[in-house]
Structure 1
Amino acid sequence: MKVFKKLSLALIAIVTMSAHAQDKKPLSPAATATGKINGANITINYSSPSVKGRTIWGELVPYGKVWRAGANAPTTFETDKKIMVEGKELPAGKYAFYVIPEKDNATVIFGKDPAIGANKYDMANDQLRVTVKPKKSKTIAESLVYAVNKDNVTLSWEYWEIPLKIK
């Protein structure tokens, strides 16, 4: 009888925890940004973490280190036509999208293998690297968000906006 009671309590605990876990939303939900620039269809797939009172640039995302530009899985950047990013050619294709933030600039990297995360990053797989100057925002972007605009793609998070000129 004692074994039955223990099993019953364990089963109730498991069912309760499982039901509670299903109610929770992901900490960094999946998101997609899409748009057209100069006739090219652009799609960015990423996971969107939140600031939650933390200092992002230089702390959570350290300066000088490759970051996957999102959470959970590698961020991908896809274009169906050749585009110019900051004056440099990026062929049509799907790429891993990385950022190396610094105090006054950011290096944006398009990696040839979109499945490789920042922990396995290898410079030999770079398709393109550009350096841009982040802009300070007056308002906080609580969740990381990408926007595909008329002539640029912008990553916004906390008080930084990282714009990429695209033609």
Structure 2
Amino acid sequence: MKKTFLIIALVATTASALVGCSDTNQESLQEQAVSSENRETLDNVSTVAQQDTIKGSIPSEAAGSIGDVNIKISYYAPGVKGRIIWGGLVPYDQVWTTGAHMATSLEFEHDLVIGGQEIQAGKYALFTNPGREEWTVIINKNWEQHLADEYDQKEDVLRVKVKPTVQNQHQERLKYEIKQLSEKKGAIHMAWDDLIVSVPVSIQP
């Protein structure tokens, strides 16, 4: 009788251990699934965190050199934020500060040739007049003004016609870049939404 009782006890203990082992494995698999789900959620949160959530326009600066001439552009960078930019937020055929808040400023320490026209060293305002097919890039003496509120065409020192290029990559915030293309030639790039506007720049021979 005692032997029978021992056998039954052993069988019950073994069965309990097997069930416990099965439960542990199941819990481990569930933990792995939850962990994997958490990692995926964290990855998604990280991606969202990297998105541009700033509401206002950001004070920004682009600096670079073409040859031995240093060039600096100071501007406020607005975001698209799901808005219609060209022909909407930025009207066609009107002078635009090509930024936000204050006039965008362009500064260089030596004379340059911009769009084939010579311009003396100094600090200027950089405006544009966007069109559907062609833009006018404007460099104006009055760099210290709010938007284009005080813009006066009589103070223009340079006007250049350029054609915008449609880009495949969306540019959420307006961005300027100064590109050196060779020893003495380069360009000023402005990209926003789906367009790039490029103005050729070179140093004096």
TM range (shorter): 0.7 to 0.9
Q: Comparing both structures, which one devotes a greater share of its residues to helix?
A: 2
* Residue 115 of structure 2 is aligned to residue 80 of structure 1: no
Distance 2:189 2:157 in 1: 20
- Offset at 1:52? 0.6
Task: Could you tell me which runs of 5 or more consecutive residues in structure 1 were left unpaired when the two chains were aligned.
Answer: 1-23
* Residue 135 of structure 2 is aligned to residue 106 of structure 1: yes
Distance 1:135 1:25 in 2: 27
**Which of these residues, 141, 145, 152, is aligned with residue 122 of structure 1?**
152
CA 1:90–1:26: 2 relative to 1, 3 Å = farther
Structure 2 length-normalised TM: 0.68
**Superposed counterparts of 1:128-143, under 5 Å:** 128-143=158-173
Q: Secondary structure in 2 aligned to 1:166?
A: strand
Q: Secondary structure in 2 aligned to 1:149?
A: strand
Cα offsets for 1:90-110 (capped at 9, x unmatched): 110000110100001110111
Structure 1 length-normalised TM: 0.83
Distance 2:163 2:170 in 1: 18
Distance 1:155 1:91 in 2: 22
Distance 1:52 1:95 in 2: 29
Aligned match of 2:197: 162
- Offset at 1:55? 1.3
Distance 1:62 1:93 in 2: 29
CA contact (8 A) 2:189 2:199 kept: yes
Task: Could you tell me which runs of 5 or more consecutive residues in structure 2 were left unpaired when the two chains were aligned.
Answer: 1-52, 181-185
Q: Comparing both structures, which one devotes a greater share of its residues to strand?
A: 1
- Higher-Rg structure is 2
Aligned match of 2:42: none
Aligned length: 144
CA 1:85–1:29: 2 relative to 1, 3 Å = same
CA contact (8 A) 2:162 2:199 kept: yes
Distance 1:79 1:130 in 2: 18
Aligned match of 1:71: 100
